[in-house]
Chain A
């Protein structure tokens, strides 16, 4: 413990001894440094202060007493003199910089030629020094060049000046006033000059002035003809204020001249045409955009494409619907190519509506377009809905393209071959889903029916045989519709004899219908008994057709018997059947059976209504009017 205390005391002694030299040295350095710093500024500023400081500095080394040193030190630190000169020095440059721009601009205007000025303006445009550009230009045009002549700007330089004014908020009127003096400099305004004025008009929404300026540009011609930007500004301006007709006229002029439209203007035009229901105008514009190479890439947004398609289908404008699908196809293709890919798909309901519209308008291009985009949307991973196939068959039937219609029927049967039998039968029934195809097959009577039959026969014997009961059912029903019983029967027999297929309930229904139409009631009844005997289950339509056969034979009693059988089989008579039955009873004055029909209607809660509209025609009294006239 004692040794530790001793060592600590020694260390403390060493510490106290070591700082002594430093403390003695620092005052010396401080004293030597301060006089030099204080002397220079004093000499620079005032001579009166110089003498006292020199005197004090000379007196410092004489007395070694520390009392005299510390007052000097304090006096030096408290002296405010050294700060003032530095402050003055900092102020002077600022003042000098503030005063510089005016003379500097004047100097620049005197030294720069036109090309140098153009380059400088280009730099200042990047940094948006509009005010400087404006001032420099105004001074420059009033200065003289090297040869002592007044400076003359060219049109490019003047356009920079116009742009500077535009960016500083000049109005359209101001811009026009600035364009006028160009003649004084022997400078002709060009398209860029007028475009700058149009931009000012665009911001102020001055459509009338813009139209006049556009006409003026067209009149002057040559260097001041309107370009793409001019038309975009004017068209966009008119759309902005709601003057769609004027906008269309200007767009018409632009498209005629082969100018390129911007995407925003095209989109605005599309939106306007669709909102106003001007589908034909939109078709015309789209077609002309397609004709010009530079406008081919124009494409509305995906949502707008859908909207165009909806309106086109509503208005039955097949061309516009086709173009809408074409735009969507571009979007789908573009989305798949993008990284990461964006998967666009068209709604199948929209495609069905498009196909239905194609059927109404007999547009083959719309059928192809609709189906192409549907396949593109499904991407081969899923079959189209049955409704899509039926709509396609309907479209081809209305077009009279029976070959493609039956090809579509083949596709439908292939796609849903594994489905439930009842569902397939309903989809392929010639009385409902495929009825348009039946009508198409009967268009020229037996001629078309035979042609279709032989086509199907040749297809069934080809390399890839196509055999379809549904297709043959269409022919049988077509024969029935044309009162051609013999052909219907031959086609029915050919189902098993020539094609090796088994007739289904629709085949028997069609045959029964054929017999019924030509009043062969007994044979119709035999067909019914035959199909029941071989195990084919009759459906609701079978009984209805049998009732019709009896009614055509003017036998309401037998018809009622069939209705009773129908009810026993678990089916419900339709309102149409009961109305036919009642009508026949009334015509035959069969009150007893009429009462039974009424009882059936009450039983099944079927409101049969009245026959007023039919009776108007049936009860026309032709001789009454003549009697009155006489």
Chain B
């Protein structure tokens, strides 16, 4: 029940953000730019922020690096593995290495206390030791940009595809048309095109994943991946 409630709360938190975004595009664009340019904005907030939280809440926090999960793992799956550690969706950040092929290398977890971290280690031992959990520093946690399950990556985009083709592929889904951006990721010796699309909510992103995955775009089958 606690996990369900935390899941509901996390969805509530996500839900609260939506009206602000839908009412006007300016906050969304600003927030999006902030997410994309976190690296440059990190130094200025670092200096004023550390003193106040360092006193009381900073000491209780403990960070871990979780690995060994499969490609299809969701945040709820990892919260199920780390059961009883009082984690919410916001306490998990999937790390997608820049320049990689959008395969998550690890998940950085923010534990409320050291005892929660120890309990997580015991849970992993109980699960057959399929996973690994290591200590991590806060410096590793802060720079990661969370996608919150709202961004979908379209793998296998043809070379001659344009934004209109992506629009047609995603017809019927609720997404932000202006958020379509193309990347080039390095596969096995060859570079591939990937399109990132931001949806209005987690539900819409999963709906697109369920209905549009492995469909055709200009004679090519597209593989969708929901970034967590």
Taking Cβ atoms with an 8 Å cutoff, the residues of A that contact B are: 302-303, 306, 310, 314, 316, 335, 342-345, 347-350, 352-353, 355-357, 359-360, 378, 382-383, 385-387, 390-391, 394, 419-420, 422-423, 426-427, 432-433, 435-436, 540, 570-572, 574-576, 604-607, 609, 613
Contact = CB atoms under 8 A, between A and B. Distances in A.
B190 interface: no
Nearest to A355: B210
Interface in B36-93: 69-74, 76-77, 80-81
A348 B127 contact: no
Contacts of B184: none
B70 A302 contact: no
Contacts of A360: 213-214
B189 interface: no
10 contacts: A347-B77, A382-B80, A383-B4, A387-B210, A420-B15, A423-B12, A432-B204, A435-B211, A605-B29, A606-B177
B22 interface: yes
A425 B29 CA distance: 26
B201 interface: yes
Nearest to B77: A347
Given A348-B76, A350-B73, A394-B210, 12 more contacts: A303-B130, A316-B214, A348-B77, A350-B70, A353-B213, A356-B210, A387-B209, A423-B12, A423-B15, A432-B204, A572-B23, A575-B178
Interface in B17-37: 22-25, 29
**Which residue of A348, A357, A432 has the most chain B CB atoms within 10 A of its CB atom?**
A432
Contacts, number: 133
Contacts of A387: 203, 206-207, 209-210
A575 B163 CA distance: 13
B33 to A, nearest CB: 13
Chain A interface SS verdict (over half) = helix
A432 B73 contact: no
Contacts of A378: 80
B127 A343 contact: yes
Interface in B126-162: 126-128, 130
A352 B213 CA distance: 11
A571 B23 contact: yes
Given A310-B71, A426-B203, A575 B210 contact: no
A353 B72 contact: yes
Nearest to A394: B210
Contact of B74 (A349, A422, A607): A349
A302 B11 contact: no
A561 to B, nearest CB: 20
B73 A302 contact: no
A385 B12 contact: no
A350 B72 contact: yes
